[in-house]
Chains A and B, each alone.
Chain A
């Protein structure tokens, strides 16, 4: 659906995007993840034919961004960062203007405008002047515009930036629903966004792709194994000793004493061998010794750790 080959962009002396290659299959939602200034927006701008690449190429829906730019633009909907809109226009007349620019006929325009007004919850503000709308509504107007001509490919640059938590949830839900029917690339520097909405993440730092795969694959690739946190009461040294003898446990570490506030409970963090779940055995051991167990929990590794690690490596490597 989208295929990017060795895409490179140089601004003066700065190498903004450095030989980036990736593929996105039909119906996938792909998160473009990276710190600010990593080259995410520049890459997306090249895919939308707004900026020409310095070298390399890409195709969207089978059309080359360089030689078939009209067809590429016909096939994609784009929500730019910060959602530029004409502030003096009303929501419905703006969408009508955009439909006319895309040469949609009258019936098609009416039908699609009705659809996107409902889809993006814009009904209550359809006759309002865009300049008077809140950030959340402006963002939805931008998305409605991107969806207007029912494009197979959607490119969303930071779709949730500046929204409040409730709006972020709505926006993510909407994006998730769009997957399957549309192929979606969204850029973000917020990790939970990728975990919440994307099938696949492409991590970019310093203009280069440093990792890609599903959120699970990314976690696995770094061998960031899950930890089991055990909160219990008993003699500290004996607990460490007993827990390290449990089959499958590699390492025991005491995080803090007196986590419960009464000064007696301690939290032990266990690293287990890959694929083994030690929770039941740990619980049994503690019971046998007569130590009180208050909580036992498997801690999921977040992409955050992964992200900090790879982008830090990139910064050191340069």
Chain B
């Protein structure tokens, strides 16, 4: 466990040493700021639902930019060799990398808490905290799943660009599916599959509904991608 923490700490530290992370963070917060501005007007409902729904779209490209280097860089620079020749196993590496990246995601998200403070200060008669909290829970779960997908894509290649583009492509498809499907005549199998997509499950959270099925969905899919990353890491050395 201490090894997982050690790897996570180093990973988090390396974000703060990289200009890339600051650029991604700045663009993300700028976009959030513009979206919040639209909602934060006299006469509007004091809620963040609109912002939360947009945030998922921003995370489709933000998270892959943050996760692309996690393992791809270790492969390309050869540090995987120094890492794997100390007594630790693939699970330590994957969990440590995931935790480090996920913590940076939380750092990225934390300035948006300011919006909650602003809403609380100016809303009349007051704000309904419930949907805001459940919205944050949802966005944290989405961030976790996206990070795990990004980590998995990063484990497959030495190229950070390939890792980022493939992760963004996968996330884009699973996120856009409900939009694409709406208004189309599809077989029941397809509808069942599309109902499993991220966005449909996420919108429940932003509406203020915490459904245990949705919780389980995010936790399990995250775990599956972490497991797959471990397997890729193991098999790449055995080739």
Taking A80-B78, A84-B78 as contacts, is the C-beta distance between A102 and B10 under 8 angstroms?
no
- Identify the interface centre among B6, B83, B86, B238: most chain A CB within 10 Å of its CB: B86
Q: State which residues 1-57 of B face A: CB under 8 Å.
A: 2-3, 6-7, 10, 13-14, 17-18
Cβ contacts under 8 Å, A84 to chain B: 77-82
A51 beta carbon closer than 8 Å to chain B = yes
Cβ contacts under 8 Å, A69 to chain B: 87
Q: Are B237 and A52 in contact (CB under 8 A)?
A: yes
Q: Are B3 and A103 in contact (CB under 8 A)?
A: yes
Q: How far is the CA of A74 from the CA of B3 in the complex (A)?
A: 14
A307 beta carbon closer than 8 Å to chain B = no
Taking A73-B85, A80-B82, A101-B88 as contacts, is the C-beta distance between A88 and B6 under 8 angstroms?
no
Cβ contacts under 8 Å, B237 to chain A: 50-52
- Identify the interface centre among B2, B6, B7: most chain A CB within 10 Å of its CB: B6
Q: Are B82 and A52 in contact (CB under 8 A)?
A: no
Cβ contacts under 8 Å, A85 to chain B: 79, 82
Q: How far is the CA of A45 from the CA of B81 in the complex (A)?
A: 9
Q: Are B86 and A102 in contact (CB under 8 A)?
A: yes
- Identify the interface centre among A45, A70, A98, A101: most chain B CB within 10 Å of its CB: A101
Q: How far is the CA of A51 from the CA of B234 in the complex (A)?
A: 11
A48 beta carbon closer than 8 Å to chain B = yes
B84 beta carbon closer than 8 Å to chain A = yes
Tell me, rounded to whole Å, the shortest Cβ–Cβ distance linking A196 to chain B.
27
Taking A86-B14, A97-B6 as contacts, is the C-beta distance between A50 and B88 under 8 angstroms?
no
A225 beta carbon closer than 8 Å to chain B = no
Mask of A16-29 contacts with B, CB within 8 angstroms, 1/0: 00000000000000
Which interface class (under 10, 10 to 19, 20 to 34, 35 or more) fits B?
A: 20 to 34
Q: How far is the CA of A86 from the CA of B7 in the complex (A)?
A: 12
A82 beta carbon closer than 8 Å to chain B = yes
Cβ contacts under 8 Å, B3 to chain A: 100-101, 103
Q: Are A101 and B84 in contact (CB under 8 A)?
A: no
Q: How far is the CA of A86 from the CA of B18 in the complex (A)?
A: 12
CB < 8 Å neighbour of A97 from B10, B18, B88: B10
Q: How far is the CA of A52 from the CA of B238 in the complex (A)?
A: 6
Tell me, rounded to whole Å, the shortest Cβ–Cβ distance linking A140 to chain B.
15
Cβ contacts under 8 Å, B6 to chain A: 97, 100-101
Q: Are A88 and B17 in contact (CB under 8 A)?
A: yes
Q: Are B86 and A86 in contact (CB under 8 A)?
A: no
Q: Are B85 and A100 in contact (CB under 8 A)?
A: no
Q: How far is the CA of A70 from the CA of B86 in the complex (A)?
A: 8
CB < 8 Å neighbour of A50 from B7, B13, B79, B85: B85
Tell me, rounded to whole Å, the shortest Cβ–Cβ distance linking B67 to chain A.
17
Tell me, rounded to whole Å, the shortest Cβ–Cβ distance linking B96 to chain A.
10
- Identify the interface centre among B78, B80, B238: most chain A CB within 10 Å of its CB: B78
- Identify the interface centre among B3, B14, B87, B238: most chain A CB within 10 Å of its CB: B87
Q: How far is the CA of A69 from the CA of B78 in the complex (A)?
A: 20
Taking A86-B10, A88-B14 as contacts, is the C-beta distance between A80 and B238 under 8 angstroms?
no
Q: State which residues 53-106 of B face A: CB under 8 Å.
A: 77-88
A49 beta carbon closer than 8 Å to chain B = yes
Q: How far is the CA of A87 from the CA of B237 in the complex (A)?
A: 24
Cβ contacts under 8 Å, A73 to chain B: 85-87
Mask of B195-239 contacts with A, CB within 8 angstroms, 1/0: 000000000000000000000000000000000000000000110
Cβ contacts under 8 Å, B84 to chain A: 49-50
Tell me, rounded to whole Å, the shortest Cβ–Cβ distance linking B222 to chain A.
25
Q: How far is the CA of A89 from the CA of B9 in the complex (A)?
A: 12
Q: State which residues 61-93 of A face B: CB under 8 Å.
A: 69-71, 73-74, 76, 78, 80, 82, 84-89
Tell me, rounded to whole Å, the shortest Cβ–Cβ distance linking A224 to chain B.
38
Taking A97-B6, A101-B6, A101-B7 as contacts, is the C-beta distance between A78 and B85 under 8 angstroms?
yes
Find the B residue at minimum CB distance from A82.
Answer: B78
Q: Are B82 and A78 in contact (CB under 8 A)?
A: yes
A145 beta carbon closer than 8 Å to chain B = yes
Q: Are B85 and A49 in contact (CB under 8 A)?
A: yes
> Nearest 7 CB-CB pairs, A to B?
A84-B78, A88-B17, A100-B6, A73-B87, A70-B87, A84-B79, A48-B85
Q: Which residues of B contact A (CB under 8 A)?
A: 2-3, 6-7, 10, 13-14, 17-18, 77-88, 237-238
Q: List 9 A-B contacts (CB under 8 A).
A: A78-B82, A80-B85, A84-B80, A86-B79, A87-B77, A88-B17, A100-B3, A101-B83, A102-B87
Other than A45-B81, A145-B82, give 18 A-B pairs with Cβ distance below 8 A.
A49-B84, A50-B84, A52-B237, A70-B87, A73-B87, A76-B85, A80-B81, A84-B78, A84-B79, A84-B82, A86-B14, A86-B79, A88-B17, A89-B10, A89-B13, A97-B10, A101-B3, A102-B86
